Amino acid sequence: MPLTTDLTDRVPHWAQLHYMGAMGRPFLKMNGTGNDFVVVEARSAPFAPTEAEVRAIADRAAGIGCDQLIAIEPAGEGADAFMRIWNADGGEVAACGNATRCVGWLLAEAGGRDRVTIATAAGPLVAERVGERQVRVDMGPPRLDWRDIPLAEEMDTRGIELQVGPIDDPVLHTPGCVNMGNPHVVFFVPEVAAAPVRQVGPMIEHHRLFPERTNVNFAEIVSRDHIRLRVWERGVGETRACGTGACAALVAAARRGLADRKARVELTGGDLEIEWRESDGHVLMTGPIEVEFTGVLP
């Protein structure tokens, strides 16, 4: 049975959790702005769940419940660890911004440092503690070419030829596309609370234009430095927050002249500060992390 002990004074002692391995695989339940994860230590013992096992762990009714399952694995020279990510549907993905902040905080706490490098399938990411359980991640530059999203055909990713609804009166149209380690499409809506996220999200996720499927974002521009956002995550469904989605929304809005290069992105689970830095084109994401409980996988 999962333990529900508060980890405020125990999280740095990751070795203590690893020692429990003989009893079953230990995990930490964490969230970044409401985007929640089951995090497993796998640096000394391999962890290779099947798709069915990932789905069982992520199941909110019968399992532990999470948006993503995360394994912290050994990394080569130049990184503190490798982060492997599975979505709730069992599929492995390359990047997750909020998970990077959570894992970054764990590694920094365990090592007594403020800055760590995390290797991912999308490339290395640098995480830095910038306050009490506040973490900033350098997500690197956005990928904006149609082949990098990827799209099935050549289009201007500032606004692709895609609409939902009647041709002469579409409900949604001309979204921007950004790859932040995973593919995102961003629709701009007048009121995000009324956006048809659950109706349109699955349809766009599996649209023929996106050979690797896509995350679907619905962004309301409140002001040039404030964006409200809801996200349908590929392989997960609507989530309380999506870090790469927040980055994609800011980049897509800035490219269209709708927002500045730095803004507060307001999500259901809380706020993230996103900056698309002019000096090197990198996207920085800052926000809170939370440790919920620890347990042992059955």
Q: What is the pLDDT of residues 248-264, one digit of tens each?
A: 999 999 999 999 999 99
What is the tally of structural domains in the chain?
2
Residues 31 and 66 occupy one common structural domain: yes
Q: Is the pTM of this model over 0.95?
A: no
Residues 167 and 268 occupy one common structural domain: yes
In a domain, 253, yes or no: yes
For residue 192, pLDDT over 70 is answered with yes
* Identified catalytic residue from 66, 96, 102, 177: 96
Residues 187 and 277 occupy one common structural domain: yes
Q: How many CB atoms lie within 10 A of CB 32?
A: 33
Residues 50 and 130 occupy one common structural domain: yes
Full domain range(s) for residue 183: 163-281
242 is catalytic: yes
In a domain, 149, yes or no: no
Residues 70 and 184 occupy one common structural domain: no
- Candidates 74, 49, 292; CA nearest to 83 is 74
* Identified catalytic residue from 66, 102, 177, 242: 242
For residue 12, pLDDT over 50 is answered with no
Residues 213 and 240 occupy one common structural domain: yes
For the segment 59-85, the average pLDDT, to the nearest whole number, is 95
96 is catalytic: yes
In a domain, 150, yes or no: no
Q: What is the DSSP string of 223-240?
A: ETTEEEEEEEETTTEEES
In a domain, 152, yes or no: no
- Token representation of residue 121: 């399938």
- State what percent of residues in the chain have pLDDT above 90: 88
| Domain containing residue 94: CATH number | 3.10.310.10
Residues 234 and 200 occupy one common structural domain: yes
